[in-house]
């Protein structure tokens, strides 16, 4: 094997997670991800079955309790402590792999759609219909949503060469990818020298071929003799990166599903999953492409965190009533579209353009940086605060009934749910404290990142350039805290205690 013939070189700082005794072996294994996905597919099937034939009560059905209470809580904890392991184990990519193996994908995703606009639209639609259709309360609709996800990922993978669904469309993937930028892990190569000599670039191209093909790489590592390495492509070869990331050039977790296909495909054992300083990429200028779609996605997700929580507190219903009385908007659909349109799209877009314009005007740097470049410099700084808002919200629902899913599973398996035994809850004051810490930590982390960005852009006038963004952070944090101190609907658990 090539990996045994090459000298071991490591240029990256951080622990190589894939060298850990048990976990590393499982993840590196040819069928490691498949095993995880197969397990998650069985779980998804259980959810669909319960959603269609189980009790149509939100708190007693796996199709509602699992995704809308537990998965969301698990997602934010996993992103914070490990990385994007939810995308790694995502069952929706199993049909994707099947489509790829059947060589169905033929053409590239349309060039004009190779950005995050569809993902922003998908996130908007998901949160809108979650609220409008009360998705959290309908096991039947939730089961349909899971099926739609499976079909969409298969169809898109069958049509296009790259993983268009994960990279450009999936709202859950967009959420995970943005917030995995503050995770303590990332994909990196061990030696840039090896990549420079590598001919096949299998990490992105894959090593799959209908028939066996032998290739010779001459690897040149500084200070060592050149090594001739045999690389075998064939029917048992691995897929390359579905989202078309080239391992030696990866600067961000954006677009990385942590699938580890690059690790398995690299014939020189040169790619791995490394630990890093949480959020390290967020303070580097060149980590994210300077694009409006990416900037708006990062900023809008913070606002969506506010609107999602706002939909569960009394002032939301008061606002709906006011809209009906003052503007004659009796249609819930239109009223919700208006509220979410303003909160989730107009406000973030206004902030991106307005704060960038103000910062440039106050510092006198209008001529040097465009609005797009200025917004792009500050957009990543929204990640910690946005994450803090989501963490505070999701951890609340999770900690109010941390094991209430167990009686739901008992009933799904045909037993009697032991609701009394598993209805324990964390003290409400302790939950409030966790929410406050999450918000404050997100706020100060965002502020620190924005300060670094302002120093980079405006040097001695950094304070002036920072002001508009700091004000937005403060307002977002206060709005979130105000919402979290109000009585919140206990979606998915309320009817148990009513």
Number of residues engaging ligand SF4 in binding (CB under 6 A): 25
Count Cα atoms within 13 angstroms, Cβ side, for 33. Answer: 23
Count Cβ atoms below 10 Å from residue 474 Cβ, excluding itself. Answer: 13
247 binds ligand SF4 (CB under 6 A): yes
Show the site string, 103-132: x = touches ligand SF4 by CB under 6 A, - = not: ------------------------------
Q: Which listed range, 13-21, 114-122, 186-194, 485-493, lies at the site for ligand SF4 (CB under 6 A)? A: 186-194
308 binds ligand SF4 (CB under 6 A): no
Interacting residue with ligand SF4 among 10, 28, 114, 201 (CB under 6 A): 201
First CA to last CA distance, the chain: 63
Min dist. Cβ of residue 207 to ligand SF4 (A): 9
Interacting residue with ligand SF4 among 85, 177, 194, 377 (CB under 6 A): 194
198 binds ligand SF4 (CB under 6 A): yes
Q: Given the complex with ligand SF4, which of 138 and 253 has the nearer CB atom?
A: 253
Q: Given the complex with ligand SF4, which of 90 and 262 has the nearer CB atom?
A: 262
Residues in 265-304 that interact with ligand SF4 by CB under 6 A? 266, 268, 270-271
Show the site string, 11-40: x = touches ligand SF4 by CB under 6 A, - = not: ------------------------------
376 binds ligand SF4 (CB under 6 A): no
Interacting residue with ligand SF4 among 262, 300, 375, 392 (CB under 6 A): 262
Interacting residue with ligand SF4 among 65, 75, 94, 260 (CB under 6 A): 260
Q: Given the complex with ligand SF4, which of 94 and 195 has the nearer CB atom?
A: 195
Interacting residues with ligand SF4 (CB under 6 A): 187, 189, 194-195, 198, 201-203, 241, 243, 245, 247-248, 250, 256-262, 266, 268, 270-271
């Amino acid at each position: 094997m090539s990996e045994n013939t090459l000298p071991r070189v490591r240029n990256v700082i951080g622990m190589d997670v894939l060298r850990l005794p048990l976990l590393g072996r499982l993840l590196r294994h040819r069928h490691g991800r498949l095993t995880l996905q197969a397990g998650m597919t069985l779980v998804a099937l259980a959810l669909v079955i319960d959603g269609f034939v189980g009790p149509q009560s939100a708190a007693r059905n796996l199709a509602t309790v699992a995704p809308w209470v537990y998965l969301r809580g698990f997602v934010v904890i996993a992103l914070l402590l490990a990385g994007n392991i939810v995308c790694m184990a995502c069952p929706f990519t199993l049909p994707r792999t099947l489509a790829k193996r059947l060589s169905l994908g033929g053409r590239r995703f349309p060039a004009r759609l190779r950005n995050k606009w569809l993902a922003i639209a998908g996130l908007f639609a998901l949160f809108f219909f979650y609220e409008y259709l009360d998705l959290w309360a309908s096991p039947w609709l939730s089961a349909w949503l899971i099926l739609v996800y499976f079909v969409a990922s298969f169809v898109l993978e069958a049509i296009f060469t790259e993983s268009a669904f994960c990279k450009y469309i999936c709202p859950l993937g967009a959420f995970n990818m943005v917030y995995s930028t503050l995770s303590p892990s990332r994909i990196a190569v061990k030696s840039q020298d090896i990549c420079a000599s590598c001919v096949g670039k299998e990490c992105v191209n894959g090593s799959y071929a209908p028939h066996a093909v032998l290739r010779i790489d001459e690897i040149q590592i500084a200070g060592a003799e050149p090594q001739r390495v045999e690389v075998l492509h064939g029917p048992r070869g691995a897929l390359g990166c579905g989202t078309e990331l080239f391992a030696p050039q990866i600067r961000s977790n954006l677009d990385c599903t942590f699938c580890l296909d690059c690790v398995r495909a690299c014939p020189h054992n040169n790619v791995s999953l490394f630990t890093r300083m949480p959020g390290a990429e967020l303070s580097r200028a060149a980590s994210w492409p300077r694009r409006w779609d990416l900037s708006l996605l990062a900023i809008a997700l913070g606002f969506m965190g506010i609107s999602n929580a706002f939909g569960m507190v009394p002032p939301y219903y008061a606002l709906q009533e006011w809209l009906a009385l003052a503007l004659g908007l009796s249609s819930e659909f239109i009223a919700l579209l208006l509220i979410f349109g303003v909160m989730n799209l107009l406000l973030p877009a206004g902030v991106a353009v307005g704060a960038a314009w103000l910062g440039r005007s106050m510092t006198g740097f209008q001529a040097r940086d465009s609005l797009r470049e200025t917004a792009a410099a500050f957009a990543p700084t929204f990640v910690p605060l946005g994450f803090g808002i989501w963490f505070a919200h999701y951890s609340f629902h999770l900690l109010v009934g941390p094991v209430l899913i167990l009686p739901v599973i008992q009933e799904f398996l045909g037993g009697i749910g032991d609701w009394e035994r598993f209805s324990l809850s964390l003290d409400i004051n302790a939950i409030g404290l966790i929410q406050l810490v999450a918000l404050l930590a997100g706020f100060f982390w965002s502020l620190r990142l924005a300060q670094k960005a302002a120093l980079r852009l405006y040097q001695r006038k950094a304070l002036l350039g920072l002001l508009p963004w700091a004000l937005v952070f403060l307002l977002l944090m206060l709005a979130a805290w105000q919402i979290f101190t109000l009585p919140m609907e206990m979606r998915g658990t309320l009817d148990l205690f009513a």
